[in-house]
Amino acid sequence: MNYGTLRPVRKLCIPNNEKKQGCRPCSDPFPDISRQSTPFPLRCQGKASNCRVSNSPEPTMLSPPEKATWRMIVLAIWVSFAVFIASFDQGYAGIVLIMPSFQTSFGTCRPDSPCTLTTLQQSLISITVLFQALGSATTGLLGYKLGRKTTIQIACVLCAIGAAGMLGTSGSFLHYMVCKCISGVGIGQLLASSMVYGSECVVASKRGLLLGIFNVGLALGNVLAAAVCAGSSTLSPDNDWQWKTPIVCQIPLALILGFGTMMFPESPRWLLLRKKKEEARYSFAAFRSLNPGSVEVTAQLDDVQRHLDLEQSLSATASWTEIYRGRDLRRTAISAMILVGLSLTGIQFISQYAALFLSGVGIKNPYLITVIVGLCIFAGSLIGPHALEYGGRRFSLLLGYTLMAACMIILASVSTGLGPGNPVAKNVVVVFLCLWSFVFGGFIGSGAWLSSAEMHSVRLRTYGQANTTCLYEIGSFGAAFWTPYMLHPDYGDMGANVGYFYFGVTIVVLILSYLFVPETARLTLEQIDDLFLRGEKAWKTSLKENKAIAQGEGPMVER
């Protein structure tokens, strides 16, 4: 039987039945690798009585490195389409606030002045983020009971219903907000479920590269939302389609995603979690383009099942509350810190209120600048997959937050020194907003979402990521709610000084990321479990060590 590529391993057998650390007993000359309890298959030399420790470079059979298949690539693109819809929704939500037709439909009108929205109304838009948090929280239960695919399809239905309802709400801000909140529940479910689905189905050796496309979807959604709004803003100010055009786009997008998800099998790891072993076998085979009865599929199936059994043996229950207990509490806290940090370091300010901010500091044509900022995020997202795959998760987060903090402090300092009305200061504001956006797209957007999903254990990933995304949405709500008050002339009137605030927040997140976020690039989801079982310090992990582990040369965990 062919077990795959040959590679050397170290210290595998007990000599003459004498136990030594790091060795295990031999039972036969050709042990069945599917039954081994260690990450490495054991090598025996002859009968059990003749077993000995061997440091020789003689080959041992290990599974070959998995390769990305066309189905994995298409799935990664489809996962990015899910977050494209979420980003598109968040992108237009803030831009329509400065459209004359939207202000006429929902604002306060006086005979001697144009209609305007109150600061409270501008801030209430952020309430939809709380409903996104609600949607994210429900994903834990839905994803566990119904599966990853079904959760995404339910989210698509809610997005379409909410968008259709908003089209008929002209004149009633309350009705508009109700429909926006329905859509928000669907958006939250998309954000929480899509990355989990992708991370469970894509091969470990290319997971960073493929799921880095996730950030391309985020960036592209923001760009197209800005572009659609820039185009519809040219319509007559008394034409409701000025603000309805970006909303109506949500309906066909949601339907395409919902029906298109039927092209893919369910997550094999979820199927194993639900005791559907044969379905999981066919799912693994479909994603890897192999025969369901092949040795490779059987070995992976047994490996994932072994890790699930180990996790269940460490806990007497299978409750969602486990994410707050024992070893899983650390993993939950790290994942939450990553995404909450993402929400508080300025992306809500840039994506939703950039147009409001730019018009407030005297920059003409904020629609065009918003499109340019979105294009910068998109341009950065194109290098994101390569940064994640070849630099690693920690590299992306630490470098990204460092550069983002630098952009914010320079933006604020120059504006303070030259005065907000100075033409040079205005140019500096635009340039460093664009640089900040490029860095965010290239290093933070994709790195944060992927890293947060990788932190959870295999068995609790759905609950864990639902919890994390819920906290992300709550953080986003806070950032989106306070931003109009920080910028409005009658309240904070901070203008470009808002850069000082986000500089401080970014530095705090940078320090926390250095201390607590481990490097997970190149590891399978099961090897990430081993990393946390070893209790290794985050700053001691590295991409180099992970490559060695992936090649069967790293540390073993006793089971």
C-beta of residue 280 within 8 angstroms of C-beta of residue 427: no
CA angle 182, 187, 193 (to 5 degrees): 130
Which residues of the chain have a pLDDT value below 50? 1-63, 558-559
pLDDT at 212: 78
CA–CA gap between residue 541 and residue 220 (Å, rounded): 32
**Residue 451 tokens, joined:** 């890293």
CA–CA gap between residue 435 and residue 131 (Å, rounded): 31
pLDDT at 371: 81
Q: What is the pLDDT of residues 401-455, one digit of tens each?
A: 999 999 999 999 998 888 877 888 888 888 898 999 999 999 998 789 889 989 9
Cross-strand pairs, 13: 24
The domains located in the chain, with CATH, are: 1-56 (no CATH), 70-264+335-516 (1.20.1250.20)
CA–CA gap between residue 371 and residue 228 (Å, rounded): 9
pLDDT at 233: 86
pLDDT at 1: 38
pLDDT at 14: 35
CA–CA gap between residue 117 and residue 129 (Å, rounded): 19
pLDDT at 334: 97
7 phi, psi to nearest 5 deg = -145, 155
CA–CA gap between residue 447 and residue 437 (Å, rounded): 14
Give the 3-state secondary structure percentages of the chain, helix then strand then coil, rounded to 5: 70, 0, 25
Q: Of 81, 92, 80, nearest to 371 (Cα)?
A: 92
Q: Is 115 helix (H, G, I), strand (E, B) or coil?
A: strand
Q: Which helix (H) or strand (E) segment is 471 a member of?
A: helix 461-487
**Residue 116 tokens, joined:** 């305007």
pLDDT at 314: 65
Q: Of 509, 546, 514, 511, nearest to 530 (Cα)?
A: 546
Question: Which distant-in-sequence residues (6+ apart) come within 8 Å of 31 by Cβ?
Answer: 41, 42, 44
